[in-house]
Structure 1
Amino acid sequence: MKPSLDLLRSMTDEHVLRTLMHRERATRAEIAVATGISKPTISDSVRRLAAAGLLVDTGERTTGRGRVGSYYSLATDVGMALVVEIAPSGVTGEAVDVFGSVVARGSAPLDRKAGEARTARALVEVASPLSEQVTGGFRTAVVSAADPVDRRTGALVHLPDAPFLVGELAPVALLAPLVDGAVLVDNDVNWAARAEMATGHASGVRDFVYLHLGEGLGCAVVSDGEVRRGHGGLAGEIAHLYTVGPNGTAMPLTEVFASTGLRRPASTAVDVDALRAATAGDSALRAVLASAVCGALLAAVSLVDPEIAVLGGEWGRDFVPDVEDQLRRAARRVPVVAARVDEPQLTGARAHAVEELREVIIEPTRAAASG
């Protein structure tokens, strides 16, 4: 059975749009070469997409010998994506275009005791001005949160002893008035793992674990190229996983830092500055912390059989040699590498937002074929 004419047109329109999502501007002849589709077919597609308001003639023309060609680009009002990071230090928001460029940015400071109401206000205060600067509006939004996230609702989950407590903050409901499409929320460590898989040391690796070792403690599990979030979105919450503490005592991972005086007062947040200072010349303390991390890592190795383990976070990368040394004594081993991507959670969220935005822009051409 041959595909319908509408389906063929839809497929051509998608090829044209994707070409211009990567090249920013191109002539019909250049698009034909890039896609391998005949120039007459591309010309028909460009006319359809221009009539639909998705493409515009830039007014620029080719120079030199031969027939003059017109340059086309995506219309300026196709919309943008909103990318938000909710972290203990504050809320950061970005307006990102279809090419992945940050065209506007805003932020609002927070602290570890901000609470749900204050964090909600900061989220809206950052996102609202950005929405007013975007031609075509926000078509989708992606949120990275330094707390567990309920995968069904997108609300943050209040867990006992979490270092950054903002109650059951609901970013989806708060941002919905500012976004035409879906709002996707996930934990910051999961976004960091996606970034590392895209352009970091886990590039090309389909099975790995990403341990975030910073003020908070977390783990992302990547299996068959997908981040596994668990039934409620709580996969990888390792703070209360039992491991080896000082003198070989079994205790939750987070308590190892309490017992060594490396947590902030009246908080479960690891005091990163104190940790760096205390471990700078204390090999015994480094060994204690590395052994505790190794215990959590070995639990992940036993359960999900990763190809590699990536250590990230404010102090995680510094402890790669120490964790490797502890692993030499273990029955099962896994290569340990340092995370490479800077601002990994925001980088991962931004990349996904661009993918979602492109799909939203292309979707009307598919709907036309099915309708």
Structure 2
Amino acid sequence: MPMSSARIAAPRPEVLASITDRTVLTAVANAAAPVSRAEIATITGLSKPGAAAAAKRLLERGILHEVGIREGRRGGVATLFELDPDHGRSLAVVIQSNLITVESRDLTGTVRVVVDEAITADATPAEIVTAANSLIEMVTQQHPAPVLAAAVSIADPVDYASGTPIPRERSVFPAAAFSALTELDLPESAHVAIDNDVNWATLGEYRRGELRGEDDFVYIYLGSGLGAGLMLGGQLFRGRKGLAGEIGYLRADSAGRLDLTQRLVELGLGDPGRYEIDLERASAMLAPAALDPEADAVIDEIAHAVANIVILLNPSAIALGGPLSVYPAFTDQLAARVESLSVDPPRFVRSDSTPLLGAGTEAHRSALSSIGLTDADARRMP
């Protein structure tokens, strides 16, 4: 049977240029200092004319800029290039039940502006939107570079596909029920990701925390609300509608009368009739170095919930975050209790990650992606 005479088409010139530009951009972005065309060629293995042409294209697009010259030993002069930090920026908007924070980073990952505003427990959705947009405008005035990407954190479950909060009969933060995608003043041209606060904190721990690069762990948030972020196989697991990890709703008795949040309130961590943990009451019970028997009952309830997660998912680690995770006697006893209940106990770490860290980091990575840097490139940057 005769062999086919079909030929493989050569890559189009514009495709080759795109690949070359990305190679040069990656080299410049990850260089420790500004580099010349000749150094770019050496780093990338490209020809000097190819490196120079790519640098020119990136310069014309405003992604690179000239930062000076270097005189050579033989009298030659080399123009130096670096990533233009103000070609664009990333934005993180974190909306919590008591505080709204907006952060702006330049393309190098440097935080240029952070502003915040306290809100009250009885704030309406309209008031929250107005306050958030005011902060976004304030940041824009101080750092006016184009917004390439934004990440919005909301202290309530979010349908990640649509970016809309999920209504619940019981919610610690009911005022979060607004559409961040349509009501916040974010550019239509920017890539916008919206998720809940615990998921963002989990991503922050994965990117920048003690568990950086750990592919299987669970982040447990212990605050006025309870939540879990599930990092499984190096991917954040959100569930069908974004409700994965809502551990506050786990059944706390065999009759299904109470969920975990309600049970903890019943044990003295809140006011009967209010669906939230009272942080002052919780701190008074869990902060002492020597814990009372009433604290033991609270630890037992939380430990059973965490142990069931550990048995089900078999994670390598548990990261404890949130305002109640700072009390050593509480967390040590919690870890010991989970270990006694588990088949394959994980290690426990105290996480300093916050929704702002996660949202800010991911928004910056998305901004880099928009100019041609891949995820692998972004991992090497701040």
- TM-score, length-normalised on structure 1? 0.88
User: Which residue of structure 2 aligns with residue 254 of structure 1?
Assistant: 261
1:12 aligns with 2:20: yes
1:329 aligns with 2:340: yes
Compared CA separation, residues 19 and 244, structure 1 to 2 (3 A): farther
Compared CA separation, residues 340 and 211, structure 1 to 2 (3 A): closer
Kindly indicate whether the alpha-carbon contact (under 8 Å) linking 2:339 and 2:345 is maintained by their aligned counterparts in 1.
no
Alignment deviations for residues 300-341 of structure 1 (CA, whole Å, 9 cap, x no partner): 223322222211111125333112221243252422412333
Moved over 6 A (4+): none
Whole-angstrom distance in 1 between the partners of 2:236 and 2:177? 23
Whole-angstrom distance in 1 between the partners of 2:274 and 2:238? 26
Kindly indicate whether the alpha-carbon contact (under 8 Å) linking 1:175 and 1:183 is maintained by their aligned counterparts in 2.
no
Partner secondary structure for residue 325 of structure 1: helix
Kindly indicate whether the alpha-carbon contact (under 8 Å) linking 1:98 and 1:358 is maintained by their aligned counterparts in 2.
yes
User: Which residue of structure 1 aligns with residue 39 of structure 2?
Assistant: 30
Kindly indicate whether the alpha-carbon contact (under 8 Å) linking 1:86 and 1:145 is maintained by their aligned counterparts in 2.
yes
User: Which residue of structure 1 aligns with residue 278 of structure 2?
Assistant: 271
Partner secondary structure for residue 114 of structure 2: strand
Kindly indicate whether the alpha-carbon contact (under 8 Å) linking 2:315 and 2:346 is maintained by their aligned counterparts in 1.
no
User: Which residue of structure 2 aligns with residue 94 of structure 1?
Assistant: 103
Whole-angstrom distance in 1 between the partners of 2:111 and 2:273? 38
Could you tell me how far 1:358 is from its partner in structure 2?
0.8
Compared CA separation, residues 272 and 33, structure 1 to 2 (3 A): farther
5 Å-filtered alignment, 1:51-66, equals 51-58=60-67, 60-63=68-71, 65-66=73-74
Kindly indicate whether the alpha-carbon contact (under 8 Å) linking 1:79 and 1:134 is maintained by their aligned counterparts in 2.
no
Alignment deviations for residues 32-53 of structure 1 (CA, whole Å, 9 cap, x no partner): 3333333332111111222333
The runs of 5 or more residues in structure 1 that have no matched partner are: 364-371
Alignment deviations for residues 174-203 of structure 1 (CA, whole Å, 9 cap, x no partner): 235545222111111111111111232322
5 Å-filtered alignment, 1:92-171, equals 92-171=101-180
Partner secondary structure for residue 230 of structure 2: strand
Could you tell me how far 1:264 is from its partner in structure 2?
5.1
Partner secondary structure for residue 316 of structure 1: helix
User: Which residue of structure 2 aligns with residue 185 of structure 1?
Assistant: 194
Of residues 153-162 and 223-232 in structure 1, the stretch that sits farther from structure 2 once superposed is 153-162
Aligned length: 359
Kindly indicate whether the alpha-carbon contact (under 8 Å) linking 1:151 and 1:232 is maintained by their aligned counterparts in 2.
yes
1:339 aligns with 2:346: no
Partner secondary structure for residue 158 of structure 2: coil
The runs of 5 or more residues in structure 2 that have no matched partner are: 1-7, 374-382
Whole-angstrom distance in 2 between the partners of 1:330 and 1:118? 45
Compared CA separation, residues 6 and 163, structure 1 to 2 (3 A): same
Alignment deviations for residues 12-36 of structure 1 (CA, whole Å, 9 cap, x no partner): 2112222333347322233233333
Could you tell me how far 1:219 is from its partner in structure 2?
0.5
Matched residues, percent identical?
Answer: 28
User: Which residue of structure 1 aligns with residue 377 of structure 2?
Assistant: none
Could you tell me how far 1:242 is from its partner in structure 2?
1.6
Kindly indicate whether the alpha-carbon contact (under 8 Å) linking 2:156 and 2:173 is maintained by their aligned counterparts in 1.
yes
Q: Pick from 372, 378, 381: which aligns with 1:362? A: 372
5 Å-filtered alignment, 1:188-227, equals 188-227=197-236
Kindly indicate whether the alpha-carbon contact (under 8 Å) linking 1:162 and 1:268 is maintained by their aligned counterparts in 2.
yes
Partner secondary structure for residue 185 of structure 1: strand
Could you tell me how far 1:8 is from its partner in structure 2?
2.5
5 Å-filtered alignment, 1:301-316, equals 301-316=310-325
Kindly provide the amino acid, as one letter, of the partner of residue 77 in structure 2.
V
Alignment deviations for residues 186-228 of structure 1 (CA, whole Å, 9 cap, x no partner): 1111111111112323223211111101121000111110111
Kindly provide the amino acid, as one letter, of the partner of residue 103 in structure 1.
R
Compared CA separation, residues 87 and 169, structure 1 to 2 (3 A): same
- TM-score, length-normalised on structure 2? 0.86
Kindly provide the amino acid, as one letter, of the partner of residue 335 in structure 1.
P
Compared CA separation, residues 292 and 32, structure 1 to 2 (3 A): farther
User: Which residue of structure 2 aligns with residue 369 of structure 1?
Assistant: none
Whole-angstrom distance in 2 between the partners of 1:221 and 1:128? 34
Whole-angstrom distance in 1 between the partners of 2:143 and 2:335? 47
Whole-angstrom distance in 1 between the partners of 2:320 and 2:342? 20
Whole-angstrom distance in 1 between the partners of 2:262 and 2:314? 26
Kindly indicate whether the alpha-carbon contact (under 8 Å) linking 1:145 and 1:187 is maintained by their aligned counterparts in 2.
yes
Q: Aligned-pair RMSD on alpha carbons?
A: 2.5
Could you tell me how far 1:113 is from its partner in structure 2?
2.2
Partner secondary structure for residue 202 of structure 2: helix
Could you tell me how far 1:77 is from its partner in structure 2?
4.9
Kindly indicate whether the alpha-carbon contact (under 8 Å) linking 1:142 and 1:185 is maintained by their aligned counterparts in 2.
yes
Kindly indicate whether the alpha-carbon contact (under 8 Å) linking 2:306 and 2:338 is maintained by their aligned counterparts in 1.
no
1:353 aligns with 2:363: yes
Could you tell me how far 1:352 is from its partner in structure 2?
0.7
Compared CA separation, residues 36 and 270, structure 1 to 2 (3 A): farther
Whole-angstrom distance in 2 between the partners of 1:132 and 1:266? 44
